[in-house]
Amino acid sequence: MDMRLTGPDRDLATKAREFTEQILIPLEDECETNDGLTPESHATAKQAVLNWEFNAINHAQGNGGQGLDLFQQMLVEEQWGHATGALWDIPWRPSIPLARGTEEQKERFLRPAASGERRDAYAITEEGAGSDPRMVRTSARRDGQDWVIDGEKWHVTSGDVADFFILHTVVDGDPSKPTTFLVDKDTPGVRLVRTPKYMHTFVFEHPIYAFESVRVGDDCRLGEVGEGYELTKDWFVEERLMIGARTMGAAARALDLSLVFAKEREQFGAAIVTFQSIEFMLADMAAEIMAAKSLLYRVCWEAARGGLDRKRLHAEASAVKLVCSETAGRVIDKAVQIFGGRGYMREFPVERLYREIRVDRIWEGTSEIQRVVIGNELRKRGPGVYTGWPGAE
């Protein structure tokens, strides 16, 4: 089999790496120092996204996106993952369920989001509902031709810069009727509760929002009543693959930095790279990245070009997120150890990577939830999805 990247794929990855080095990484110090970017820096970076044609890479060109398949998106996001400060979130990727909207919804929400005129934030998590969206209590009820929504959402990533939400609710408080709505932030009854501070530095915020008797028309319902869980699951699958991509980029940068540092740092009259204890850490880092990246590339290629069905993709995406995020955590932990005291200083990228990569084992489904998905697949269908090989079944 030929496992080399095609010319266009290789060129795309190179372009994404250059964008990261020229646009994102130069913003790291400002983002860390100021806990975000100035409006001027953000506006400049936003224009760069458009100039480089990296807006809405996950949506069809007919909807204003770049039309990249999942494998190509992965190649791009892997490179963006090298940047600290979650600067990979500057290039906007409107949530994939928006593609399932009506033509009117696409015109009102998706296409402006693809062009950067609008921005969405997916609001799922609540104080009592995290990895299991079936625990959601935010409720929507019919009132004439409208819907009235009540509830509260936590950890609404990029909610500070978004101007509309994809809101995961249950109709009439019934968990068997999960339903998503498109809600403009300026709709009466939408209220910012507070903006918590988090361990990582993130270019945007994760506020808590209350929805108090928020009234929207039926034209704001995304999908059918009861279809919300499937739409949200589609979003989870895509996000889990992209988390896999970004964590591999972060891990690769940590290894690059560690190797350079180990060659330059001298102790006891020799570069520490010559010490077997350091050499073994570097070797483990490289081998683990190679293994996890192989899984990532395989699954994304299957999803984009190998005819992988939706159910199997859900199962394999969980393995990707689990393996890649856990691998990156181990790799970056070793990087901090190699850097010693410098690895604990925020001015060094490995320290920032250490703080920022930790959440990848939590959001979009914790590592434990990914194991539940994998375990469920094993019980229902056996180990073939994970131990077999495409075309060998």
**In the predicted model, is pLDDT for residue 389 greater than 90?**
no
Which of these ranges, 197-206, 225-234, 268-277, 384-393, has the smallest mean pLDDT?
384-393
What tens digit of pLDDT does each residue of 59-109 get? 999 999 999 999 999 999 999 999 999 999 999 999 999 999 999 999 999
Partners of 222 in the β-ladder: 180
pLDDT at residue number 130:
81
pLDDT at residue number 3:
77
pLDDT at residue number 284:
98
Rounded to whole angstroms, what are the CA distances from 203 to 112, 117, 319, 386? 22, 19, 28, 36
Mean pLDDT of 224-246: 96
> How far apart, in whole angstroms, are the C-alpha atoms of residue 208 and residue 50?
30
**In the predicted model, is pLDDT for residue 390 greater than 90?**
no
Q: Are 180 and 166 in contact (CB under 8 A)?
A: yes
What tens digit of pLDDT does each residue of 199-209 get? 999 999 999 99
DSSP state for residue 188 in the 8-state scheme: T
In the chain, % of residues over pLDDT 70: 99
pLDDT at residue number 290:
98
Active site residue 279: no
Q: How confident is the model at residue 306 (pLDDT cuts 50, 70, 90)?
A: confident
State if pTM tops 0.85: yes
pLDDT at residue number 189:
98
pLDDT at residue number 308:
84
What tens digit of pLDDT does each residue of 363-386 get? 999 999 999 999 999 999 999 999
Question: Rounded to 5 degrees, what are φ and ψ at 165?
Answer: -115, 145
**In the predicted model, is pLDDT for residue 1 greater than 70?**
no
For 176, counting Cβ atoms within 10 Å of its Cβ (0-12 exposed, 13-18 middle, 19+ buried), the class is exposed
pLDDT at residue number 132:
78
What tens digit of pLDDT does each residue of 275-294 get? 999 999 999 999 999 999 99
DSSP state for residue 174 in the 8-state scheme: -
Q: Which is the catalytic residue, given 53, 364, 368, 377? A: 364
Q: How far is CA 77 from the centre of its chain?
A: 9
Question: Rounded to 5 degrees, what are φ and ψ at 214?
Answer: -75, 125
Instruction: Set out the domains of the chain in order of their start, with CATH numbers.
Output: 7-115 (1.10.540.10), 120-226 (2.40.110.10), 229-387 (1.20.140.10)
pLDDT at residue number 156:
98
What tens digit of pLDDT does each residue of 129-168 get? 887 778 899 999 999 999 999 999 999 999 999 999 999 9
